[in-house]
């Protein structure tokens, strides 16, 4: 189930006090990933979601920017990922009769690379 977006720490790539307009190229290794465990392999979860949970690649992105020249401004970027929440209920049974003794809710989050976002902010 899709559970929103995850963003990571903003990284500074350029700083200026001048009025400028341009593009900065950023090359970055990005990957999908998972936290938590629901008792399924990453491959099985990936088959259900339709993408490789362990995929890693290098991307180059062109970040356009425009600064105002009014004080120091910084060009930053962050990686954006789509977050999926996976839940399963683990049932524990005992004895030969198979009586249910307890249930435990298992939760994992899967992250899929969705792009790089750029911005200009005052320093």
Listed in sequence order, the residues at least 6 apart from 62 whose beta carbon sits closer than 8 Å to its beta carbon are 23, 24, 25
Is the pLDDT at 109 greater than 90, yes or no? yes
Domain CATH code at residue 88: 2.170.15
Question: How many domains are contained in the chain?
Answer: 1
The pLDDT score that the predictor gives to residue 6 is 78
Could you give the percent of the chain with pLDDT greater than 70?
96
Beta bridge partners of 1: none
Q: Report, as an integer, the average pLDDT of 16-32.
A: 95
Q: Which residues span the domain enclosing 51?
A: 2-122
Whole-number Cα distances in Å, 92 to 66, 83, 95, 97, 105: 59, 29, 10, 12, 11
| Torsion on CA atoms 12, 16, 17, 18, rounded to nearest 10 | -140
Quote the CA–CA distance of 2 and 19 in Å, as a whole number.
40
> Does 17 have pLDDT greater than 70?
yes
């Amino acid at each position: 189930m899709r559970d929103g977006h995850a963003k990571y720490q903003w990284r500074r790539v350029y700083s200026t006090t001048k009025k400028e307009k341009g593009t900065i190229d950023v090359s970055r290794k990005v990957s999908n990933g998972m936290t938590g465990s629901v008792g399924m392999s990453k491959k099985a979860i990936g088959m259900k979601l339709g993408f490789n949970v362990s995929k890693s690649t290098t991307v180059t992105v062109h970040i356009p920017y425009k600064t105002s020249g009014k004080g120091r401004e910084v060009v930053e970027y962050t990686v954006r990922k789509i977050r999926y929440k996976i839940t399963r209920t683990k049932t524990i049974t005992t004895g030969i009769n198979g009586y249910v003794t307890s249930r435990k809710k298992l939760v994992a989050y899967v992250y899929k690379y969705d792009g790089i976002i750029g911005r200009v902010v005052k320093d």
